[in-house]
Amino acid sequence: MPFTEGAFSANSFADVAAFSGDATPLPRSLLDTILASLDDAKAEAVVDIDVAAKTPIADHMVICTGRSTRHVGAIADHLAKDLKDAGFGAVAIEGQPACDWVLIDADSVIVHVFRPEVREFYHLEKIWAPDPEPATGRR
């Protein structure tokens, strides 16, 4: 791969592998693995919230929706399998029997998978969203 200015992508790991000619895929970050797994499982309305400055329990909170209880359970199962296969180990899962709201604790990332009505009721995005910028100036 000849070097040309601007030829490198935003993913520096992929660039290093491509530039060195190494065909072995480099490990993905935990968050990247989670987001890719949710995309593969057809999770809807995926939101990633950086909560590192708000709480010591996690760095990121990912919230998504499944179309039905069966889809919510399938998303959680798919994510747990993908994380284990990627070398992140087993994750703690809560709420899987009912599958209205399934919480997956993946260490520094907490994933919430909701049915649409339950997500709308709890509206976690509003609770954990970044603080709005303070108003400046006088009225």
pLDDT in tens, 35-46: 999 999 999 999
What is the average per-residue pLDDT within 67-87?
96
Whole-number CA gyration radius for the chain = 18
Q: Please give the backbone phi and psi of residue 35, each rounded to the nearest 5 degrees, phi first.
A: -65, -40
Which tops the pLDDT comparison, 130 or 22?
A: 130
CA atoms of 74 and 10, how far apart (whole Å): 31
Answer whether 69's CB lies under 8 Å from 97's CB.
Answer: no
What is the average per-residue pLDDT within 96-103?
95
Q: What is the pLDDT of residue 28?
A: 64
pTM score of the predicted model = 0.75
Residue type, 42: K
Percent of the chain with pLDDT over 90: 65
Strand order in the sheet with 44-50: 44-50, 60-65, 109-114, 101-106, 92-94
CA atoms of 110 and 125, how far apart (whole Å): 13
| Average pLDDT value over all residues in the chain | 82
Tens of pLDDT, residues 57-75: 999 999 999 999 999 999 9
Which tops the pLDDT comparison, 124 or 8?
A: 124
Q: What is the pLDDT of residue 129?
A: 80
